[in-house]
Amino acid sequence: MTWYEKIGVQLFEPNRDQSPGEVVFFKFFELFIVYYTIKFAWDWGIYTELRNNEVVLSLGLAKYIDISIFFDNQLAIINAAFITLLSIMSYLRFGFKWQYMVVMILLHVQYVARFSQGEIPHSQNLIGMAVFCFAIGAIFFPDKKKMPRFVMGSIIFFIGLGYTSAFFAKLVGTGLTWFDGRHLWLWIGEKSIDILSREGVWEPNFLQSMALKSTIVASIILLIGWFTELIGFTMWFKKIRPFTTMMLIGMHIGITMTMNIRFDAFVMQLILVGFPWYILLDRYIKTTPELLKKIL
Amino acid sequence: MDPSFSKRGMKVLGVSLLVYALLVAPHQGEFWPLSIYPMFSQAGNPWTRAMILDVTNKPDADLWERQPLNSRESDVVAVSDYGVDQIDFSNFVVKTQNWTQTRQKALKDMFGTSAIENERWMVSKVRGELIGSDSVSIEITPFILLTPDSTYLNPNLQAEVYGGTD
């Protein structure tokens, strides 16, 4: 068995049969993704319609089309409506197997219209990556047993890859001195301005105060976070996955406390994909509900 | 489940990864939701953000003076009270190259056409940088004054700062 086949076995677990708990969990997880897809589509659409006037930054497909057409004519709202309709149809397996791919493209357009104002947030990326994996899974693995396993495995693959990629981006961008605590001082200062601008007031919390008083404390905070990103790829391995996930969740709590950046959907998704919830569900669910079998 | 499934799964992932690389490479590492996650990768660089100060009661003679963040006299206007995302606002101010009349009006309209009634708002740039080995300096520079009727650029800044205005 080659190295990538071994990783494939860890991600997709071909030797484990599908259980009722796995089916129930998968459809719950898919509902979670569809909910956030629809939520983001409307949040972004309404903001675009109400607030966006000029394109400051062209991201993705906005480099090739005039995305400002989405600022008027209710186009962002119409797009949100299409995303909602196609997402629900896809969830119910009503329609065509490439529908999730269409949702993916429309959601991308919605994102680049909304975030044409200069900000490049990443807190919604995991939801987008999940839609991407549902799209690939629906096209290449339409089988009722293989699709759930591929979707979950590929999401875990891309999450692990993303964190490790972030580690190397810092190593290339700054070098080994990235974890110098004074860098955290600068970021705390920067984020404090964002909070001050948003709320009109800002006071440092306990962790920020500790970091601002000592370069050693600040450096340790950065070093722990950076190391956690490095080991992100260990999520690929089934037995290590829950421990890596706990460290990643801890890292996000640390980011929220030090830099006031919240990743709510991101962390919820980590909690869902990082632990084998089907084992718990299988204790209580002995047969797969007929309704779920139909929409699997 | 047939054992060749995971092998095919990895091949599909491999092709997806190739598409991933081909999309992010020519787009500065970002093609949502695909990303190389470059946030915070360049540490230690000075930064510039934006905020609004309520300068309604400030004497005209002091309007355009720079000041350290810690000794500012004016209250900060909370942009969330107007339904505006503070990051969007900040990027709009910092990343705009040419402050044309249209762009100045777009900045004002961001808060709604009648947000400023009897006040004067100073859109300010805030710059942070490391000073020496143990401190961070944060300084406020007044940038654009918003009044109910008009917008005014800082006369103390060079015209190039505002790009080609019309």
Residues B15 and B83 in one domain: no
* Domain-located, residue B42: no
Closest alpha carbon within chain B to A153? B9
Whether the pLDDT of residue B165 is over 80: the answer is no
Pair B14, B81 in one domain: no
Q: pLDDT, tens digit, for every residue of A147-190?
A: 999 999 999 999 999 999 999 999 999 999 999 999 999 999 99
Which pLDDT tens digit goes with each residue over B42-67?
999 999 999 999 999 999 999 999 99
CA distance B35 to A120: 10
pLDDT for B166 beyond 70: no
Residue A57 near chain B (CB below 8 Å): yes
Question: In terms of domains, do B21 and B78 share one?
Answer: no
User: In this model, does residue A63 exceed pLDDT 80?
Assistant: yes
- Optimal mutation site among A198, A222, A252, interface B, most CBs of chain B within 10 A: A198
ipTM of the complex model: 0.92
CB contacts < 8 A, A to B, total 218
Contact B112, B138 (CB under 8 A): no
B106: contact with A, CB 8 A cutoff: yes
Contact in structure between B99 and B162 (CB atoms under 8 Å): yes
Residues in chain B within 8 Å Cβ distance of A115: 32
Structural domain that includes position A47? 11-294
Q: Residue B78: inside a domain, yes or no?
A: yes
Q: Is residue B40 part of a domain?
A: no
Q: Nearest by CB to B86, which of A57, A161, A198? A: A198
Number of domains in chain B: 2
Q: Does residue B41 fall inside a structural domain?
A: no
Q: Is residue A5 one of the residues assigned to a domain? A: no
Q: Is B82 found in the same domain as B116? A: yes
How many domains does the structure of chain A reveal? Answer: 1
Does A70 contact B at CB distance below 8 Å? Answer: no
Q: Quick check: A4 and B14 CB within 8 A?
A: yes
Q: What is the pLDDT of residue A54?
A: 82
* Residue A101 maps to a domain: yes
Mutate: best of A51, A157, A238, A269, partner B, most B CBs <10 A: A51
Residue A223 resides in a domain: yes
Answer yes or no: is A4 within a domain: no
Residue B80 lies in a domain: yes
Q: Does the structure show a pLDDT above 90 at A142?
A: yes
State which residues form the domain around B147: 47-162
Band of the pLDDT at A280, cuts 50, 70, 90? very high
Q: pLDDT value at position B115?
A: 81
Mean pLDDT of chain A: 95
In this predicted structure, the answer to whether residue B32 has a pLDDT above a threshold of 70 is: yes
| Statement to judge: residues B23 and B65 lie in one domain | no
Whether B31 and B68 share a structural domain: no
A215 chain-B contacts, CB cut-off 8 A: 134
**Phi and psi torsions of B30, nearest 5°:** -135, 115
- Pairing mode, if any, of strands B75-76 and B151-153? unpaired
Answer yes or no: do B71 and B140 share one domain: yes
A41 vs A58: CA distance, rounded Å: 18
3-state secondary structure of B164: coil
What's the average model confidence in pLDDT over A200-224?
95
Does a structural domain hold residue A173?
Answer: yes
CB of B85 less than 8 A from some CB of A:
yes
- Please check whether residue B59 lies inside any domain of the structure: yes
Tell whether B79 and B19 lie within a shared domain: no
- The string of pLDDT tens digits covering residues B86-108 is 988 998 899 888 999 988 988 99
Mutate to test the interface with B, among A197, A199, A217 (most CBs of B within 10 A): A197
pTM value? Answer: 0.90
Residues 146-165 of B with CB under 8 A from A: none
Q: What percent of chain B has pLDDT over 70?
A: 98
> How far is A217 from A276, CA to CA, in rounded Å?
35
Between CA A140 and CA B8 the distance in angstroms is 9
